[in-house]
Copies of this chain bind each other. A is one copy, B any other.
């Protein structure tokens, strides 16, 4: 039997992975959830037909969305993760022993339950949440949580799906201004912001909005093979710390944490942008 899961990455481009076994499917209130055991990527989470994360390569996304803002900050203690229902971002954040509080606000409890059961590599911390007093999971609306919070978090990580469906409100100027208020005076915000090859209009808009809200706005890159084009962006907004001051940032890197993708060279290299993309962002900021 030939069983394949196919993501239509654009109207004219599709990526297909051979499936060993369908482990879980459910229509939640928010989206269609699938977890498939694939030959190429191991277990993979799929939301509304879009490949989200897999055992094969999840380390790239989660190490980069967490460790880059963490080391850019001098001493992050309170961390908010919006989305991130698979648990990978919480897992990486909690590897930092100095962190006092990691709160995850995920809108779709069904994603969390499915990943607890079928995607344990990502969700190990969720499973063991009873043993980790620093971690709080809230099933709820991250947009609302940020609206109601003031001067509290050191880092806010937006680990969301595409800006269609439940993730839509996380890509608005109003949201970024609420994030700004929810952060302490030296706080940092980071968000996954899609592909530099395929989502340039979105990227220009987000970069412009983050630039007008934060003192520092930068985009960094990571190679994520299951995403369109294999190259993905993260947008970082920072109130006080300049994400390009590598001479201050890199000495903070904890060498004893075992990384699979991240290292000091990669941290710095991630901010080097291809010429076409640099020009797009430069024109957006004008």
- Stretch from A96-104, A114-122, A257-265 forming part of the interface with B: A257-265
A40 touches B275 (CB 8 A): no
Assuming A10-B40, A223-B229, is B266 touching A274 (CB within 8 A)?
yes
- Stretch from A12-20, A82-90, A143-151, A158-166 forming part of the interface with B: A12-20
- Give how many A residues have a beta carbon under 8 Å from the other chain's beta carbons: 44
Q: Which residues of B contact A262 (CB under 8 A)?
A: 275
Interface of A is mostly: mixed
Expressed in whole angstroms, the Cα–Cα distance for A84 and B10 within the complex equals 29
Q: 1/0 per position for A229-249, CB-CB distance to B under 8 A?
A: 111000000000000000000
Q: Is A24 an interface residue (CB 8 A)?
A: no
Q: Is A285 an interface residue (CB 8 A)?
A: no
Copies in the complex: 2
Q: Which residues of B contact A275 (CB under 8 A)?
A: 259-263, 266
Expressed in whole angstroms, the Cα–Cα distance for A262 and B60 within the complex equals 23
Expressed in whole angstroms, the Cα–Cα distance for A58 and B121 within the complex equals 37
Q: In the complex, how many angstroms separate the beta carbon of A215 from the nearest chain B beta carbon?
A: 22
Name the contact of A229 in the complex, choosing from B225, B269, B276 (C-beta under 8 A): B225
Q: 1/0 per position for A244-286, CB-CB distance to B under 8 A?
A: 0000000000000001111101101111111110100000000
